[in-house]
Amino acid sequence: LQSAGSRGEQARKLVIDLETRGKQAFPMFLSILRDTGQGDLADMLMEEYQGLPAAPQPVDLQPVQLDIHAEKHNKSCFTATCAWQVYELKADPCGRCLIINNVTFSRDSCLSPRDGSDVDCKKLEKRFKALRFDVLTRRNLPAQEMVSELQRLARRDHSALDCCIVVILSHGCQTSHIQFPGGVYGTDGTPIPIEKIVNYFNGSNCPSLRGKPKLFFIQACGGEQKDRGFEVDHDSPSDEAPEGSLESDAVPFQTPLGNGDEPDAVASLPTPSDILVSYSTFPGFVSWREVSSGSWYVETLDSVLEQHARSEDLLNMLLRVANAVSARGRYKQIPGCFNFLRKKFFFSCK
Main-chain dihedrals φ then ψ at residue 184, nearest 5 degrees? -125, 150
Please state whether 21 falls in left (phi above 0), alpha (psi between -120 and 50) or beta. alpha
Contacting residues for 336 by C-beta, under 8 A, at least 6 apart? 222, 278, 279, 281, 282, 283
Residue 171 annotated as catalytic: yes
Cβ count near 12 (within 10 Å): 20
Per the CB < 8 A criterion, the answer to whether 100 and 169 are in contact is yes
Please tell me the total number of residues recorded for the chain in this structure: 350
Give the closest residue to 161 by CA, choosing from 72, 96, 238.
96
Cis, bond preceding 181 (omega within 30 deg of 0): no
CA dist., res. 75 & res. 280, Å (int):
33
CA distance to 37, 229, 242, 297, 331, per residue, from 239 (Å): 31, 10, 9, 21, 8
Residue 221 annotated as catalytic: yes
77, 97, 171, 206: which one is catalytic?
171
77, 206, 221, 349: which one is catalytic?
221
CA dist., res. 84 & res. 23, Å (int):
8
Strand partners, 64: none
Q: Which residues are catalytic?
A: 171, 221
